[in-house]
Amino acid sequence: MQNISNKHQLFISRVITALLAVIALTLALISGDNTFIFSLVSYVWAGIGGTFSVVVLLTLFWKKYHGRAVLATIVTGIAFTIIWINTGMEKVITSRLLTFFVALAAAIITTYVWPAPKLNK
pLDDT in tens, 8-43: 899 999 999 999 999 988 877 787 666 777 777 878
pTM exceeds 0.85, yes or no: no
Q: Is the dihedral of CA 61, 51, 40, 96 positive or negative?
A: negative
Q: Which of 40, 46, 38 is nearest to 100 (CA)?
A: 46
Compute the distance between CA of residue 8 and CA of residue 108 in angstroms, rounded to an integer. Answer: 44
Q: What does the pLDDT read at residue 99?
A: 93
User: What count of Cα atoms within 13 Å lies in the side-chain half-sphere of residue 113?
Assistant: 10
pLDDT tens by residue, 35-71: 777 777 878 888 898 999 999 999 999 999 999 999 9
C-beta atoms surrounding 45 within 10 Å = 15
